[in-house]
Amino acid sequence: MPASQPRSRARDRNNVLNRAEFLSLNQPLKGNQESRSSGRKQSSQAGAAGAQNSNPKERRQSQQLPEEDCMQLNPSFKGIAFNSLLAIDICMSKRLGVCANRASSWGGARSMINLLGITGHGIPWIAGTLICLVKSSTLAGQEVLMNLLLALLLDIVIVAGLQKLAKRKGPYDINPGLLDYLTMDTYAFPAGHASRAAMLSKFFLNHLVLAIPLRILLVLWALCVGFSRVMIGRHHITDVLSGFVFGYLQFRLVELIWMSSNTCQMLISIW
């Protein structure tokens, strides 16, 4: 036994792992273990206290936030459909703008298309209505002309107001003309020429006795005036179509507030 003890001590001295620099590998220090365990306990206690102090509403909001973010990032079906139709409208309007400038495919016909658009402008129609009203001598003619003048003025006011609200630009960067500034027709939606042409054609079809060929020509004139604005790059297709709809609604409004012959005579006498 006494001989075996010196041998074991010699083995322990020769063992490399028993050296001071290798003690951490063989046997971790107690201080590190205690600090780590105390840190874990404190963090777990703080987490439990925070979980107890947090309200159920906050937990629900934290759980729902990722889902809400995903819902906001995913567009709706209506939004996709609207953006697709808008893109198709812009693309088709630019393709149909064959007279948008001199370098376009139909650039040589731009002057003729502009002349067709002037036939649907408000200033010539208001001036012509006033001249006819001065020269008219019948009560029925004066009644029709006074209501036509009212319809033209309402068209300018309504279209200008809608354009100011929408503020939609045309498919091409084209500056409005002098006559457009006079009637406040400076934006694209809705098309003022289209609304005026639709309103006038419906007005004449209802209050004038016209032959069938003239009635057909009147409808074709309204359509050509509307789509001539697309050809020169001033309006989109939807601007013209909405202009036709607003023109019909303006005609219905004038029919509702139709001025009688006595009212027209009173206004003419004041004027």
Active-site residue list? 193, 235
Q: What are phi and psi of 172, to 5 degrees?
A: -120, 155
Query: Which is more confidently placed, 76 or 124?
Result: 124
Contact 198, 243 (CB under 8 A): yes
Least confident interval from 105-109, 139-143, 160-164: 105-109
Residue 85's pLDDT is: 85
Query: Which is more confidently placed, 46 or 216?
Result: 216
Model confidence band, residue 67 (pLDDT cutoffs 50, 70, 90): very low
Model confidence band, residue 71 (pLDDT cutoffs 50, 70, 90): very low
For the chain, percent of residues with pLDDT exceeding 70: 72
Alpha carbons 255 and 169: distance in angstroms, whole number: 32
Give the amino acid at 56: P
Residue 182's pLDDT is: 77
Residue 113's pLDDT is: 87
